Amino acid sequence: MAASETVRLRLQFDYPPPATPHCTAFWLLVDLNRCRVVTDLISLIRQRFGFSSGALLGLYLEGGLLPPSESARLVRDNDCLSLVWQGLLSQVLCAVSVGKRARHQAFPAALVVRSRRP
Protein backbone atom coordinates (compact mmCIF):
# COMPACT_ATOMS: atom_id res chain seq x y z
CA MET A 1 0.00 0.00 0.00
CA ALA A 2 1.41 3.40 -1.00
CA ALA A 3 2.09 5.97 1.68
CA SER A 4 -0.40 8.81 1.88
CA GLU A 5 0.82 11.86 0.01
CA THR A 6 -1.29 14.75 1.23
CA VAL A 7 -0.91 18.38 0.25
CA ARG A 8 -2.51 21.44 1.77
CA LEU A 9 -3.95 23.72 -0.91
CA ARG A 10 -5.30 27.23 -0.63
CA LEU A 11 -8.35 27.69 -2.84
CA GLN A 12 -9.40 31.13 -4.05
CA PHE A 13 -12.82 31.19 -5.77
CA ASP A 14 -13.82 34.03 -8.10
CA TYR A 15 -17.35 33.79 -6.61
CA PRO A 16 -18.39 32.19 -3.32
CA PRO A 17 -19.20 28.49 -3.76
CA PRO A 18 -22.80 27.30 -3.20
CA ALA A 19 -22.04 25.47 0.06
CA THR A 20 -20.44 28.53 1.69
CA PRO A 21 -21.84 31.73 0.15
CA HIS A 22 -20.09 33.99 2.66
CA CYS A 23 -16.44 33.18 1.82
CA THR A 24 -14.18 32.85 -1.24
CA ALA A 25 -10.91 31.58 0.30
CA PHE A 26 -10.41 28.11 1.80
CA TRP A 27 -7.78 25.57 2.74
CA LEU A 28 -8.21 22.01 1.49
CA LEU A 29 -6.24 18.90 2.41
CA VAL A 30 -5.92 16.57 -0.59
CA ASP A 31 -4.56 13.02 -0.82
CA LEU A 32 -2.77 12.89 -4.19
CA ASN A 33 -3.00 9.11 -4.20
CA ARG A 34 -6.77 9.54 -4.67
CA CYS A 35 -6.51 12.32 -7.27
CA ARG A 36 -4.61 11.05 -10.31
CA VAL A 37 -5.41 13.90 -12.71
CA VAL A 38 -6.57 17.51 -12.42
CA THR A 39 -10.13 16.41 -13.31
CA ASP A 40 -10.18 14.28 -10.13
CA LEU A 41 -9.12 17.31 -8.11
CA ILE A 42 -11.86 19.44 -9.70
CA SER A 43 -14.43 16.71 -8.94
CA LEU A 44 -13.35 16.68 -5.30
CA ILE A 45 -13.72 20.47 -5.12
CA ARG A 46 -17.16 20.28 -6.78
CA GLN A 47 -18.29 17.74 -4.21
CA ARG A 48 -16.87 19.53 -1.15
CA PHE A 49 -18.16 22.98 -2.07
CA GLY A 50 -21.62 22.13 -3.44
CA PHE A 51 -21.19 22.69 -7.18
CA SER A 52 -23.40 20.69 -9.54
CA SER A 53 -21.80 18.06 -11.76
CA GLY A 54 -22.57 20.24 -14.79
CA ALA A 55 -20.65 23.23 -13.44
CA LEU A 56 -17.50 23.96 -15.43
CA LEU A 57 -14.66 24.98 -13.16
CA GLY A 58 -11.29 26.21 -14.36
CA LEU A 59 -8.39 25.51 -12.03
CA TYR A 60 -5.42 27.91 -12.26
CA LEU A 61 -1.98 27.81 -10.67
CA GLU A 62 0.00 31.07 -10.73
CA GLY A 63 -2.26 32.39 -13.50
CA GLY A 64 -1.88 29.33 -15.74
CA LEU A 65 -4.70 26.90 -16.48
CA LEU A 66 -4.12 23.38 -15.18
CA PRO A 67 -5.10 21.08 -18.07
CA PRO A 68 -7.84 18.65 -16.97
CA SER A 69 -5.96 15.57 -18.21
CA GLU A 70 -2.63 16.55 -16.61
CA SER A 71 -1.32 14.81 -13.49
CA ALA A 72 -2.62 16.22 -10.21
CA ARG A 73 0.96 16.06 -8.96
CA LEU A 74 1.49 19.46 -10.59
CA VAL A 75 0.23 20.92 -7.33
CA ARG A 76 2.48 21.08 -4.30
CA ASP A 77 1.98 21.68 -0.62
CA ASN A 78 0.78 25.24 0.15
CA ASP A 79 0.04 26.13 -3.50
CA CYS A 80 -2.66 28.74 -4.05
CA LEU A 81 -5.15 27.64 -6.71
CA SER A 82 -7.67 29.98 -8.30
CA LEU A 83 -11.02 28.52 -9.25
CA VAL A 84 -13.05 30.19 -11.95
CA TRP A 85 -16.67 29.25 -12.55
CA GLN A 86 -17.02 29.11 -16.34
CA GLY A 87 -20.73 28.38 -16.55
CA LEU A 88 -22.75 25.24 -16.97
CA LEU A 89 -22.01 22.55 -19.52
CA SER A 90 -25.52 22.95 -20.98
CA GLN A 91 -24.90 26.69 -21.56
CA VAL A 92 -21.60 26.02 -23.33
CA LEU A 93 -23.14 23.33 -25.56
CA CYS A 94 -25.89 25.78 -26.52
CA ALA A 95 -23.39 28.57 -27.27
CA VAL A 96 -21.31 26.29 -29.49
CA SER A 97 -24.30 25.08 -31.47
CA VAL A 98 -25.55 28.61 -32.24
CA GLY A 99 -24.45 29.96 -35.60
CA LYS A 100 -24.39 28.95 -39.23
CA ARG A 101 -22.90 25.53 -38.56
CA ALA A 102 -23.75 23.49 -35.49
CA ARG A 103 -20.82 21.78 -33.86
CA HIS A 104 -21.48 18.91 -31.50
CA GLN A 105 -18.44 19.25 -29.25
CA ALA A 106 -18.21 20.42 -25.68
CA PHE A 107 -15.61 23.09 -24.97
CA PRO A 108 -14.93 24.92 -21.71
CA ALA A 109 -16.48 28.38 -21.81
CA ALA A 110 -13.01 29.93 -21.73
CA LEU A 111 -12.29 28.32 -25.09
CA VAL A 112 -15.51 29.36 -26.83
CA VAL A 113 -14.49 32.39 -28.88
CA ARG A 114 -16.71 34.17 -31.32
CA SER A 115 -14.96 35.68 -34.31
CA ARG A 116 -15.95 39.12 -35.55
CA ARG A 117 -15.82 40.15 -39.14
CA PRO A 118 -15.24 43.81 -40.00
In a domain? residue 80: yes
State the CATH number of the domain containing residue 54. Answer: 3.10.20.90
Q: Which band of pLDDT confidence, cut at 50, 70 and 90, is reported for residue 55?
A: confident
In a domain, 65, yes or no: yes
Residue 57: closest CA among 87, 19, 25: 87
Q: What span, in angstroms and rounded, lies between the C-alpha atoms of 113 and 110?
A: 8
Whether 101 is in a domain gets the answer no
Decide if 110 is inside a domain.
no
Listed in sequence order, the residues at least 6 apart from 15 whose beta carbon sits closer than 8 Å to its beta carbon are 24, 85
Over residues 16-30, the pLDDT tens digits come to 999 999 999 999 999
* pLDDT bracket for residue 86 (50, 70, 90): confident
Which residues, 6+ apart, have CB-to-CB distance to 118 below 8 Å?
A: none
Bridge-based pairing of strands 6-13 and 80-88 is parallel
79 part of a folded domain: yes
